[in-house]
Chains A and B, each alone.
Chain A
């Protein structure tokens, strides 16, 4: 499979770096109670949601940005950011009403937005800047009682569900960025899978930052009711800009009895240029709860983009016999910095978690794994296995591993393994001798190294991820 991909990939620049010329409505920069009210009003939100936002805002205003990560974060002026941007035309019911420029954007991104093109069986929700543009396949899903729509729409159409589950996994005061998101989030995706339903297709959201000087704050909520199953994918890109842009999202997952949620993401926000100018600051709170018995959540992430990544998709294993997985490939090149990992919180009995993290650092980048395995007092027979591998492609990059453990029950078995390797010149020369040029050789070797994780991704995503690994590392060796 990957040889075709390697074929296709010839360009070394960030290929998603275009901007789209659609009319955009942007609120003035700055953050205040008035702005929060304005956002809520623009979205025609119920009173309880406005109250939630204001509570979050007031809390955030008292907080300080965290500084414990292995990241050098330049000062962020939160008053210079615009907190809401939306393509102007709204309330779209059919494709014909969508701004053709926007459709072109999604075409360029390779998103099968047009109904007739959707043979691949992927339902797509596309979020441009802050607003959800179109959700495909809605009707087919509705027949099974599956809800897959923009978060704003869910607020209007399914307020009880939203009210019941929103912030039940990530409270508004969880951390600085979660509080910020809770105050100003503009849109995102909402998924509800009813009892006993297996979602027949992959559900997918594409996030796209377009407007200048704006932050993107989406919020995703996935609820899988008893005995249900869903696989959800998320992709992200942004244009190339000299200044940094802020992205602070929240993702919450709830899995009830015997439910299974697979969440996969390929994060490819603009990483900045070779000198480290521009790029997205990506501060994201992702957390799932295995609420019911025998429930299961897996996070699979391929992180290639962003100037700074601060992200720890986590799991609370509350239900007995529940299990959780975290599979991650994080690549950093040039001046990128990533501090990413997971938290596995074992609370129920007979719970198990598996962590597999593959870091790849090149150029002058810094790449850290940070993980916590927590076993509560009542968590009889908890099992965890963590494997954290790092691969270095240059002498000037850094790879760091920060595994934390807190075990409060003697029956727990917690294991941790870590390795560090370098791509050797012998390996590259061996490939060269067989006719494979160095760039392709690096792609091949890196994809081999990351294979265990890439294999966990749904097919189309695996293909995209392999391409991205290759592109991200072009020019990084030799």
Chain B
């Protein structure tokens, strides 16, 4: 076990992790941040997407060690009251079905809006195709991002 200091959602925490610990399981199991989901563990689905230093990454693919000295944001830290423009748009457009992929979708979308202020449909599709939604909420995700972009 290694002891590491991490900064997650603005707070510093000390956690005990195994040597090959990933950020995903560290967040979920050690910090109790269950909003970040395990979908494939192989960098293929995007359910585990969080921000490291403001950029979306797949937390199942990076080590816990690698975030030392960096700042991590999870869905729980995206906004204080769950009222980020994307979250509001997600409710407005009634996007989630089962909901399991949606934390990852929202974190990915937040990464897009940081980079591109008002993305075109084409840009949204190109950027968001990293994330799988097996329930097929894709078209609603596009509408929600488009709506949120107007608010940001």
Are A and B physically bound partners? no
Which residues of A does B touch, CB under 8 Å? none
Which residues of B does A touch, CB under 8 Å? none
